[in-house]
Amino acid sequence: MEKEIDEVREKIERMEAEKKNLGNRVDFGTLTVKVSEEYKAQTQGLPSSFRGRFQNAPVEGCRSMIHGLVDVIEILLSYGPSVFLWAGLRFLPARIAWRRLRR
């Protein structure tokens, strides 16, 4: 009976040591996530006649002009504040230097 109790205690001690060893082990992994969006262009039938193309040209021109204006506004809103900040920070030292040079 004592022999079996000793064997069970020995197993318990081994399992506790293994548990402690596994608890101290840390494995690091790298997770790479790639997110993308598929763009599917809408197919539009091209007018087959010269007249149809000629009629659609002003509409396409206006659409291109509006897209261009929207792009310019977006750029100004995106980069404008930082450009004005940096320009202001550069303007003051340049103005002070200019005034000193004029004296």
Q: What is the pLDDT of residues 2-55, one digit of tens each?
A: 889 999 999 999 999 988 887 777 666 677 888 877 766 565 665 567 777 777
How far apart, in whole angstroms, are the C-alpha atoms of residue 69 and residue 6? 86
40 within domain boundaries = no
pLDDT per residue as tens digits for the range 82-102:
988 998 888 888 888 888 888
Domains of the chain: total: 1
Contact of 56 with 64, CB cutoff 8 Å: no
Query: Which residues make Cβ contacts (< 8 Å) with residue 47, sequence separation at least 6?
Result: 53, 55, 56
15 within domain boundaries = no
Q: Please give the DSSP secondary-structure letter assigned to residue 21.
A: H
42 within domain boundaries = no
Query: Which residues make Cβ contacts (< 8 Å) with residue 46, sequence separation at least 6?
Result: 53
90 within domain boundaries = yes
30: its two tokens = 């790298």
18 within domain boundaries = no
How far apart, in whole angstroms, are the C-alpha atoms of residue 35 and residue 30? 16
24 within domain boundaries = no
Q: Which domain holds residue 97?
A: 79-103
